[in-house]
Amino acid sequence: MKKSIIDYTILACFSIFSQFACADEWGTIKIPANQPIKIAFDNQLEMQFGGIKLGIEMAIKEKNSMRDHPLRLELKMPEHKNIRSDHLSKIFCNDPHTVGVIGYADRADVQSALSTHLQQKVILVSPLGILAKQMKDKSPVIFNMCCSHKLQARKAVEFALSRKKKKIAVIHNTDEFSRKLGRDFTVQIQMRGAEVLFETSLSNNYYLSGMIKKIKTLKCDLIYYAGPSELGILVIQEMDAVGLHNTYFIAGAACHNFKFLSETSGIPMANCYVVAPRKPSREWSRKFVTQYGLSPGFSPYGYDAAHIFINALKAVTLKNSYGRMELGKKALADAVKNAKIKGVSGEIEFDSKGCRTSSALAIYHVFDNEEEGFRLFKETPSR
């Protein structure tokens, strides 16, 4: 009898301790024994930035499980093919076993999706730069892994001026990140003494041909473009049509993909450049290519985003005597906020607003490999 009382007392104390340890002002995620820990991904991003999904898969396969719970990548279902981001966020955030989301595609409905994350305190890691209103208490649940538009713009400005380009045209897409990237480039290069002779935001009814003809008439020696690769390709095609083959063209990271290379192939562009993250190490790239038979693309961002979650989970998860995993939502958010890791995409840490404070950016020249007969990105040092 005494032993039973002692055993019961120990179990009760453990239970109380467990409840106290897991107490969290934002609530607690509880995952039953043998059930998976889910990291969700909006795979609409894969259509814009190829490789992100494979990077996430690679990181999850390497870890595989945590405290006897399998790690699982949760994707939107086939029936959700064209689902809006705000609806998708509700599906992910209402799943009690989802510890966080990697996404979303930057579309008109994304701000509503972010509101769901803020309300339900479900962490979102954006691998390629979503702009969002942050929480007033400086404890965000939304984190941006892409370096800020200001840092990207600064890299492009420094490169343009190193090439002595002073008569500038700026074209940016209508989404908020592209618009801010384009505006930051304009402001920074004007402060450094260059003239912005033409600036426009592309809308759904844009007349791109007329814009490029006007840029030619103004004798701009550089076009800076901020937006998706699909529109960047059209800008290159229009430049070709009016004979702007030697005019400098500098684009943001969204154009750093195989589609941009393949669909501009054959167009003579001597001075076409893209500002994008520095390539991962050869060792990691070989590992990725061996595993998937593809070039890495944007996979380093997916890989690092998954590792941010994995490292945070290690720091805050508890497991009780029944095999159940418990973790506090705010504790998890704080662990992500305090992340400081050397990722495949560069050094990663966040400021109080959840924005990445450092990133290794590089300038890539769109280079024609005449021997092999195809285009590639070649890192180019600034002068």
Number of structural domains (the chain) is 2
Q: Are residues 339 and 218 in the same domain?
A: no
> Is 138 a domain residue?
yes
Q: Are residues 130 and 91 in the same domain?
A: yes
Domain range enclosing 61: 2-147+281-349
**Residue 219 maps to which CATH number?**
3.40.50.2300
pLDDT (0 to 100) of residue 4: 46
Q: How far apart are CA 377 and CA 272, in angstroms?
A: 10
Q: How far apart are CA 71 and CA 106, in angstroms?
A: 26
Q: Model confidence over 19-58: pLDDT tens digits?
A: 444 478 999 999 999 899 999 999 888 877 778 999 999 9
Question: Residue 320 CB: number of other CB atoms within 10 A?
Answer: 17
Which amino acid, one-letter code, is at 97?
Answer: H
Question: Residue 262 CB: number of other CB atoms within 10 A?
Answer: 12
Q: Are residues 290 and 343 in the same domain?
A: yes
Q: Are residues 324 and 249 in the same domain?
A: no
Does residue 76 have a pLDDT over 80? no
Where among 247, 270, 293 does a domain terminate? 270
Q: Are residues 260 and 170 in the same domain?
A: yes
pLDDT band at 16 (very low <50, low <70, confident <90, very high): very low
Q: How far apart are CA 253 and CA 225, in angstroms?
A: 10
Q: Model confidence over 231-260: pLDDT tens digits?
A: 999 999 999 999 999 999 999 988 988 889
Output 355 or 216, whichever has higher pLDDT: 216
The residues pairing with 66 across neighbouring beta strands, listed in sequence order, are 69
Q: Are residues 175 and 252 in the same domain?
A: yes
pLDDT (0 to 100) of residue 5: 42
pLDDT band at 133 (very low <50, low <70, confident <90, very high): low
pLDDT band at 10 (very low <50, low <70, confident <90, very high): very low
pLDDT (0 to 100) of residue 129: 67
Where among 232, 247, 270 does a domain terminate? 270
Is the Cβ–Cβ distance between 331 and 316 less than 8 Å? yes
